[in-house]
């Protein structure tokens, strides 16, 4: 199958077909290869594999056929030369940083990124001499001002979690390249169905496959996509030695998830827009964050950069934390869990969960209000979701 010319396939076709190589058994669905190592025909063949003279499998920390199918499929969908799968989304970010950066290098990052990424940059990479400056996602001048001679990497997530702020990928890619930096985009909220950062000039795309790529809340995993040089050498070079590789089973779950990604994302987007419009009408709601609403301050950039606005809706309730917890505790259908991108709608209080490890000052700077609630809109009937929320608001 991979022998075929896939360059003119559309995204939905790539999602179903790319990367599959049938074995001699003629299986229709992709097989799982749960094996830690691979056998060689002879001592000489083993030596040739280990020296790199002969390509092929050695050990599943390095390569695994099921993992490779997932990697090739996601690479094709993002339009990248190479994808490397990782054990989690955080492992994808860690492997990118440790594979491409050196002691003394500097990162400029959006301040509106996933809570664990902030902690990774601020408290862990800093111990190894890699410093990070955090800037406002939507302020291109602030990014430019933060760049130093030793800056190597610009990092962002768009739309951001949980405030759905949009970063202008094209502009920030230009800024990065003028300064010999790489632009890394965490594309978790959009997936390649809604936004393809490499086409907009980004150098590396990060995924938490845990979210929409699986889409059914089953497995933890991640991926890095980009050029052969950056990802195939830099990131993979670190990963195969350090070891946060994806398991064959998880790769299989994710690659089957990719097959339904386009139809799932379309449904998530449609329900999220309906919910956001409804929330805007509620007197108890102070503010709604959803890029698909004309009231979103970056609505125009969002619809230029993304083909739809995604499945995450956040809103601030009047009444702060008490009101937020009361609404969350009143729901019967929605799941109180921090995961997102699931078929099941989830509801979270970011200030005390995903962003709870940040200092109150950092949280305030990032705009995480105590009354903020994040909803990842699932695939249940939207009328049932709205009914569940209106009970708690009423
Ligand atoms: C969840 C998430 C991550 C981390 O992924 P894990 O799979 O949980 O390690 C990174 N970035 C974003 C935007 C996320 O939502």
**Residues 251, 291 within the same domain:** no
Residue 217: how many CB atoms within 10 A of its CB?
Answer: 17
Looking at the CA of residue 188, tell me the nearest atom of ligand 1. 13
CB of 311 closer than 6 angstroms to any ligand 1 atom: no
Smallest CA separation from ligand 1 atom 6, residue: 89
CB of 211 closer than 6 angstroms to any ligand 1 atom: yes
Span from the CA of 353 to the centroid of ligand 1 (angstroms): 14
What does the pLDDT read at residue 381?
98
**Residues 272, 327 within the same domain:** yes
Contact 84, 224 (CB under 8 A): yes
Looking at the CA of residue 340, tell me the nearest atom of ligand 1. 15
Q: Is residue 228 included in any domain, yes or no?
A: yes
Contact 317, 310 (CB under 8 A): no
**Residues 149, 49 within the same domain:** yes
Contact 154, 175 (CB under 8 A): yes
CB of 220 closer than 6 angstroms to any ligand 1 atom: yes
Q: Is residue 149 included in any domain, yes or no?
A: yes
377 vs 342: CA distance, rounded Å: 8
Domain of 115 in residue numbering reads as 9-259
What does the pLDDT read at residue 98?
97
CB of 219 closer than 6 angstroms to any ligand 1 atom: no
71 vs 5: CA distance, rounded Å: 17
The single-letter DSSP state of residue 296 is S
The two three-digit tokens of residue 176, written as one number: 């990065």
Looking at the CA of residue 221, tell me the nearest atom of ligand 1. 7
276 vs 313: CA distance, rounded Å: 6
Smallest CA separation from ligand 1 atom 4, residue: 89
Task: Indicate the residue among 259, 282, 305 that finishes a domain.
Answer: 259
**Residues 180, 275 within the same domain:** no
Q: Is residue 83 included in any domain, yes or no?
A: yes
Task: Indicate the residue among 214, 230, 259 that finishes a domain.
Answer: 259
Phi-psi category of residue 201: left, alpha or beta, with phi > 0 → left and psi -120 to 50 → alpha: left
**Residues 89, 200 within the same domain:** yes
CATH classification of the domain holding 343: 3.90.1150.10
Q: Is residue 2 included in any domain, yes or no?
A: no
The whole-model pTM stands at 0.94
The two three-digit tokens of residue 5, written as one number: 């010319």
Q: Is residue 368 included in any domain, yes or no?
A: yes
Smallest CA separation from ligand 1 atom 5, residue: 89
* C-alpha closest to that of 246 among 221, 209, 210, 214: 221
**What is each CA distance from 332 to 134, 174, 327, 389, in whole angstroms?**
38, 47, 10, 9
Q: Is residue 238 included in any domain, yes or no?
A: yes
* C-alpha closest to that of 75 among 208, 169, 192: 192
Looking at the CA of residue 209, tell me the nearest atom of ligand 1. 7
Residue 343, Cα to own-chain centre: how many angstroms?
17
**What is each CA distance from 1 to 18, 71, 114, 123, in whole angstroms?**
8, 15, 37, 45
The single-letter DSSP state of residue 196 is -
Contact 374, 347 (CB under 8 A): yes
Helices (H), the chain: 11-17, 43-51, 65-78, 89-100, 115-119, 140-146, 169-178, 191-194, 236-242, 248-259, 261-280, 299-305, 320-330, 360-365, 382-393
**Residues 171, 46 within the same domain:** yes
Number of compact structural domains in the chain:
2
CB of 19 closer than 6 angstroms to any ligand 1 atom: no
CB of 298 closer than 6 angstroms to any ligand 1 atom: no
* C-alpha closest to that of 302 among 177, 190, 192, 198: 190
**Residues 195, 291 within the same domain:** no
Q: Residues 183-215: pLDDT tens digits?
A: 999 999 999 999 999 999 999 999 999 999 999
**Residues 325, 206 within the same domain:** no
Contact 372, 314 (CB under 8 A): yes
CB of 348 closer than 6 angstroms to any ligand 1 atom: no
**Residues 246, 319 within the same domain:** no
Q: Is residue 3 included in any domain, yes or no?
A: no
User: Within the chain, what is the greatest distance between any pair of CA atoms?
Assistant: 75
What does the pLDDT read at residue 4?
55
Q: Is residue 143 included in any domain, yes or no?
A: yes
* C-alpha closest to that of 211 among 161, 149, 152, 275: 161
**Residues 60, 101 within the same domain:** yes
What does the pLDDT read at residue 245?
97
**Residues 243, 293 within the same domain:** no
Task: Indicate the residue among 259, 276, 294 that finishes a domain.
Answer: 259
Secondary structure of residue 120 in the 3-state scheme? helix
The two three-digit tokens of residue 343, written as one number: 């078929």
The helix or strand, by DSSP H or E, that contains position 106, with its residue range, turns out to be: strand 106-110
CATH classification of the domain holding 233: 3.40.640.10
The two three-digit tokens of residue 95, written as one number: 């492997």
CB of 90 closer than 6 angstroms to any ligand 1 atom: yes
Span from the CA of 30 to the centroid of ligand 1 (angstroms): 26
What does the pLDDT read at residue 2?
47
Q: What is the mean pLDDT of each run of 10 residues along the chain (394 residues)?
A: 69 95 94 96 95 94 97 97 98 98 98 90 97 94 98 96 94 98 97 98 98 96 98 97 97 97 98 98 97 97 96 96 95 93 96 85 84 97 96 83
**Residues 269, 246 within the same domain:** no
């Amino acid at each position: 199958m991979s022998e075929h010319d896939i360059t003119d396939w559309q995204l939905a076709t790539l999602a179903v077909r790319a990367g599959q190589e049938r074995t001699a058994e003629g299986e229709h669905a992709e097989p799982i290869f749960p094996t830690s190592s691979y056998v060689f025909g002879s001592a000489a063949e083993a030596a040739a594999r280990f020296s790199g003279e002969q390509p092929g499998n050695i050990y599943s920390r390095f390569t695994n056929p099921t993992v490779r199918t997932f990697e090739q499929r996601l690479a094709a969908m993002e339009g990248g030369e190479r994808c490397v799968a990782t054990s989690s989304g955080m492992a994808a970010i860690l492997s990118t940083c440790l594979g491409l950066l050196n002691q003394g290098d500097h990162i400029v990052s959006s301040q509106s990124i996933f809570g664990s990424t902030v902690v990774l940059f601020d408290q862990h990479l800093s111990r190894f001499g890699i410093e990070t400056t955090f800037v406002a996602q939507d302020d291109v001048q602030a990014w430019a001002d933060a760049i130093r001679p030793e800056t190597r990497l610009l990092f962002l997530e768009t739309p951001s979690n949980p405030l759905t702020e949009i970063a202008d990928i094209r502009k920030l890619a230009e800024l990065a390249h003028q300064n010999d930096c790489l632009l890394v985009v965490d594309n978790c909220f959009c997936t390649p169905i809604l936004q393809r950062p490499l086409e907009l000039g980004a150098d590396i795309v990060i995924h938490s496959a845990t979210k929409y790529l699986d889409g059914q809340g089953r497995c933890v995993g991640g991926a890095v996509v980009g050029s052969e040089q950056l990802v195939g050498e830099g990131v993979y070079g670190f990963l195969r030695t350090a070891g946060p590789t994806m398991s064959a089973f998880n790769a299989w779950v994710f690659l089957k998830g990719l097959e339904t990604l386009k139809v799932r994302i379309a449904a998530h987007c449609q329900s999220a827009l309906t919910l956001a419009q409804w929330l805007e009408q509620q007197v108890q709601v102070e503010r709604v964050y959803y890029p698909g609403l004309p009231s979103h301050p970056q609505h125009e950039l969002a619809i230029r950069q993304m083909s739809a606005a995604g499945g995450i809706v956040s809103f601030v309730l009047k009444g702060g934390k008490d009101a937020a917890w009361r609404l969350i505790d009143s729901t019967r259908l929605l799941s109180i869990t921090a995961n997102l991108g699931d078929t099941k709608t989830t509801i979270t209080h970011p200030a005390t969960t995903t962003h709870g490890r940040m200092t109150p000052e950092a949280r305030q700077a990032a705009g995480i209000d105590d009354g903020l609630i994040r909803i990842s809109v699932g695939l249940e009937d939207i009328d049932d979701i709205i009914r569940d929320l209106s009970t708690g608001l009423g």
